[in-house]
Structure 1
Amino acid sequence: MTKEIVIAPSILAANFARLGEEIAAIDAAGADWIHCDVMDGHFVPNISFGADVIKAVRPFTTKTFDVHLMIAPVDPYLEAFAKAGADIITVHAEAGPHLDRSLQAIRALGKKAGVSLCPATPESALDYVLDRVDLILVMTVNPGFGGQSFLGSQIEKIQRIRAMIGDRPIRLEVDGGVTRDNAAIVAAAGADTLVAGSAVFRGNSSADYANNIAAIRVAAEGGRVPTRNYSSATTRADEGELVR
């Protein structure tokens, strides 16, 4: 059964001087989840925020906290993020030697477990953990910075992962350069959960954010129109465009 589209604004693009207010604003604007990009300056070339910040802003919404850990090693910090209020904890397949162990640890903490793949990481990294995951996150930029351009080369990977998932109750999330202009192609490839940062946090009010979220959602839902069959489509990688 096709899952409803989920829009998960990334707070990496929010105004950090008033982060709690920004989270309340995107909640009111129709965000389904709150995406939290945690960067350590080691696994990725940037530092964002940690568990204490997530704990501090958790009271501003009851929406799902989708916590994406771009850190290595990751296992020593899983409990801290679980206690801080994460609902989903996603780790990178590339961030450590024992992915299966990390996923087991997340579930043992009572949280949903996700795996993220960098652009150069093949989907074969998922072969032996599919029954451990609740979410698969495909990076459509190289992780570490917001505001990057979407990598169309990842569309075929999204399609292949959708086929791998089959009927399993796993969400397929895409993060990196997602906008109203490419949301349709992402959804047509099989993604059901879209992370957007800069494309959501344009403007100065919850009303602006609501318009941005709605535009992304409408585009994504339009890309999933049943009469448009992309099963045999190919990808123009430089533009992220499916062509017949």
Structure 2
Amino acid sequence: MLISPSILSADFANLEAELKRIANADWAHVDVMDNHFVPNLTLGLPVVEALLQVSPVPIDAHLMIEDPDRWAPGYAEAGCGSVTFHVEAARDPRTLARAIRAAGARAAMALKPGTPFAPYADLLPELDMVLVMTVEPGFGGQSFLADQLPKVREVREAVRRHGGEIWVQVDGGVGSDTLERCADAGADVFVAGSAVYGAPDAAAAVERLRALAQRHAH
């Protein structure tokens, strides 16, 4: 059960210090938004490269961008431990996942709330993680969409049938009140933004969430 705090809720003027606040997390979740695929602009490869120099934990880059086929492998080459592309934006997700893996990162596929998993289930052999978005991507601090839990369950069942070590990640509105339902549905990687960075002690919040997740581990 892995906790991946989202720096989308962190202080962008002090990202090195904010990463050090979550040194006990498993990953740092970094949202890359291009103002095209989603209606928000955050940061890109130069900032991610700088974060990689100072982060105490591996970086999980979530690319909410158009043309990930062109741009995503560069994040793997830069040293991100995991690179997630949106299947809605990828022209050739199979080739893209292979390119991300070839560059040394875990390859992950993200699904927006309105995107069904079944049409993409055959991509599992190419993937190390599937991200089920539990909010509409674009902004932090949104409310959790409980109607995505059946999709989490569906992905977990498909992973069980497939075998292998494929993580199921949830991102959006994940906190102490919603994490248990996600874990029960089969998620094992939890992206938490305001639940961690909105807490007075971010490291203690990470520990609380991890303990909660472990109680509900399958």
**TM-score grouping bracket, smaller chain normalisation:** over 0.9
Give me the whole-angstrom Cα distance separating, in 2, the residues matched to 1:216 and 1:103. 30
Shift of 1:197: 0.4
Q: 1:213 aligns with which of 206, 209, 218?
A: 206
| 1:178-205 CA-partner distances (Å, limit 9, x unpaired) | 001111111011000000001100245x
Residue 184 of structure 2 corresponds to residue 191 of structure 1: no
Alignment of 1:24-103 (within 5 A): 24-27=20-23, 30-103=24-97
Structure 2: gaps spanning 5 or more residues: none
Matches within 5 A, 1:168-183: 168-183=164-179
TM-superposition CA deviations, 1:10-46 (whole Å, max 9, x none): 111110110011001111xx21101111101000010
For residues 198 and 72 of structure 2, what CA distance do their matches in structure 1 show? 32
Q: 1:183–1:223: 8 Å Cα contact kept in structure 2? A: no
Q: Deviation digits for residues 197-227 of structure 1, max 9, x if unmatched?
A: 01100245xxx01221122122222233x6x
Q: 1:101-153, CA deviations, whole angstroms, 9 ceiling, x for partnerless residues? A: 21121122122100000101111132221100001100000000000000000
Would you say 1:21 and 2:21 are equivalent positions? no
The answer to which structure has the higher helix fraction is: 2
Unaligned runs of 5+ in 1: 227-244
Shift in Å at residue 171 of structure 1? Answer: 0.5
Q: Which runs of 4+ in 1 moved over 4 A?
A: none
CA RMSD of aligned residues (A): 1.3
State the secondary structure of the residue aligned to 1:127.
helix
Q: Could you tell me which residue of structure 1 aligns to residue 3 of structure 2?
A: 7
Contact kept, 8 Å, 2:34 with 2:65, in 1: the verdict is: yes
CA distance in 2, matches of 1:151, 1:104: 31
Is the 8 Å Cα contact of residues 72 and 85 (structure 2) preserved in structure 1?
Answer: no
TM-score, normalization by structure 1: 0.85
Q: How big is the shift at 1:79?
A: 3.5
Task: Report the counterpart of residue 134 of structure 1 in structure 2.
Answer: 128
Structure 2 length normalisation: TM-score? 0.95
Alignment partner for residue 158 of structure 1, among 152, 156, 179? Answer: 152
Percentage of identical aligned residues: 42
Are the aligned partners of 1:181 and 1:219 in contact in 2 as well (CA < 8 Å)? Answer: no
Q: Is the 8 A contact 1:69 1:89 kept in 2?
A: yes
In the other structure, the counterpart of 1:143 is 137
Partner of 2:130, secondary structure, is: strand
* CA distance in structure 2 between the aligned counterparts of 1:89 and 1:116, rounded to whole angstroms: 10
Number of the residue aligned with 1:222: 215
Q: How many residues in Structure 1 have an aligned counterpart in Structure 2?
A: 216
